[in-house]
Amino acid sequence: MDASWTAQDKTEGSGFTIKNHLNLFICAGYEQVRADDAEEAEALSALRGLEAARHLGLQRILLLSDCQRIVRAFRERSEDLSWGALTIAPDLRAAAEVLEQHLACAAFELPLSLFYDEKYFGPGLNSAIPALKNKGLLSSYLSRDSLAKIWSYIGHEKKPSHAVSIQAIEAEKYKVVDKTSNEVLEEIEESKAFFEVYEGAVYMHQGKTYLVNALDLLGKVALCQEANLKYYTDA
């Protein structure tokens, strides 16, 4: 299957997009289905995309959505995914954040060009480059017009790839701390904190069970302690 393959279904006003990139298939649902509210419409639309992906025999699915109803619906159907793996990105902005991280690393190795590099990074390049410029990560020669500009990496990191986490997308993270030993067990993305380490949640780490005692929103810290529990919690 071609790496640029895209399928769109416009049947009865519904919509979804499935894209294949390096064996990773992206299924992004959007609000095109008649329903009682926008979230339900988006969820129904995305689920149609999932069913289409399944029939097409796709191997891996990445769901891009900030709609919790979609996330729940996809997770409920995860048992049907014996044909492939499902990954859920918690926020549509995550795609742009990932692109920006890749662009910073790419510009460090070789300057970027809007004219030549869009075919490699997609249309998001046009908005990602100004965003990186505003963050002080990219700079260009002022003498050139916007299309011919060559963008070079000027960030403070000696190697920007060292600042990119392969386990998380978001920059804002919460620390999960064992209050007994004051040890940092893990850092999790902010969007996941309210579903995984809220007060009273059961948190699993390296085979051990912890009970979350408090979630400090200002300090971005979840305090927990090891506990022998006969139950677990789920988002």
Conformational region of residue 57, where left means phi above 0, alpha means psi within -120 to 50, and beta covers everything else: left
The domain total for the chain is 3
Spatial distance between the Cα atoms of 22 and 61, rounded to a whole number of angstroms: 12
Spatial distance between the Cα atoms of 172 and 194, rounded to a whole number of angstroms: 13
Q: What is the pTM of this model?
A: 0.43
Q: What is the pLDDT of residues 113-139, one digit of tens each?
A: 888 888 777 778 888 999 999 999 999
* Closest alpha carbon to 85 in 60, 109, 62: 60
Give domain status of residue 1, yes or no: no
Give domain status of residue 234, yes or no: no
Note whether 100 and 148 are same-domain residues. Answer: yes
Local confidence band at 235 (pLDDT 50, 70, 90 cut-offs): low
Q: What is the pLDDT of residues 29-69, one digit of tens each?
A: 433 333 345 555 555 555 555 555 555 555 455 555 555 55
Give domain status of residue 211, yes or no: yes
Note whether 32 and 77 are same-domain residues. Answer: yes
Note whether 119 and 133 are same-domain residues. Answer: yes
Note whether 61 and 111 are same-domain residues. Answer: no
Place of tokens 């979609």: 70
Note whether 184 and 114 are same-domain residues. Answer: no
Domain that holds residue 210: 173-226
Give every CB contact of residue 231 below 8 A, 6+ residues apart in sequence: 202
| DSSP state for residue 12 in the 8-state scheme | G
More reliable by pLDDT, 160 or 146: 160
Note whether 73 and 105 are same-domain residues. Answer: no
Note whether 181 and 136 are same-domain residues. Answer: no
Q: How many CB atoms lie within 10 A of CB 37?
A: 10
